[in-house]
Homo-oligomer: A and B are copies of this chain.
Amino acid sequence: MSDNTSQKTVTAALVIIGNEILSGRTKDANLGYLGDELNKLGIRMMECRVVADIPSAIISAVNDMRATYDYVFTTGGIGPTHDDITSECIAQAFDLPFGANPEAVAILDDYYSPEDRTEARYRMAKTPEGAILIENPVSKAPGFQVENVFVLPGVPKIMQAMFGGLRHRLIGGQPMVSRTVTSQVPEGKAGAGLGELQERYPDTEIGSYPFFRDGKPGANVVVRAQDAALVDIVVDEVAKLLVSLGGEPLIEINS
């Protein structure tokens, strides 16, 4: 990417909080969703850290990343159980008081009948002081925003519904356009030509992602840039290269 392009890039990062993701018990589905949705807004996911349910790990990841990227998202650890420690960690990361958020309390009061108003549930109404709530249309307990950090739940369905409601708070740039050329030409044959194309078109990013299909190697060549016309030109060049190497490239319209 040229310096010119990178100046315009709005960046984001994700902190996934969860022992269950690290142990392999649960597969994360939030990085892919957010990477994709943010790109549509012209915001580029630059880094993701998966950290354990340990306060120092959460706090240092959040502080590292909020200083480095335009937007930081966290997923996981904001439920009603003892292992949900994200909200308190965010307060510590910002050195803010942590306690019941009157607006969040009102939301839960409205949702739960008196017999369901457990102390555990009202843990979910605690935020760092001054946090701006993020509405939860599925199960009501809100997320929240402090400065450039957006605190979301780990359950994909709820996270996605809440992201829909905070989208308008984000100011993006030009989305990256991406097209993919797939062929059974092995990377080892296409490598030299792809490297030359990358040098000739420095304002694009040409990525090559190998796969095995029916026991034979091939690769998806992904061309990305903010300029759609430039992507089309480079995709055309990639396809010609692969044909010249005996391939039958398949070009996706958009990917």
- Do residues B36 and A22 form an inter-chain contact, with CB atoms below 8 A? no
Q: Of B81, B155, B194, which is within 8 A of A195 by CB?
A: B81
Contacting pair B217 A139 (CB below 8 A):
yes
Tell me, rounded to whole Å, the shortest Cβ–Cβ distance linking A142 to chain B: 14
Quick one: given A123-B191, A208-B79, are A25 and B178 in contact (CB under 8 Å)? yes
A255 CB → nearest B CB, Å: 7
Q: Which of B46, B112, B188 contacts A22 (CB 8 A)?
A: B46
Closest to A197 in B: B82
- For A33, list chain B residues within 8 Å (CB): 24
* Cross-chain contact B83 with A208 (CB below 8 angstroms): yes
Interface residues on A, range: 35 or more
Contact A47 B46 (CB under 8 A): no
A217 to B112, CA, bound (A): 14
Contacts of A211 in B (CB 8 A): 155
Could you tell me the distance in whole angstroms from the C-beta of A125 to the nearest C-beta in chain B? 12
Select from chain B the residue with minimum beta-carbon distance to A209: B20
Closest 10 CB pairs of A and B: A120-B191, A24-B36, A24-B35, A82-B195, A121-B188, A24-B32, A48-B50, A81-B208, A80-B191, A22-B45
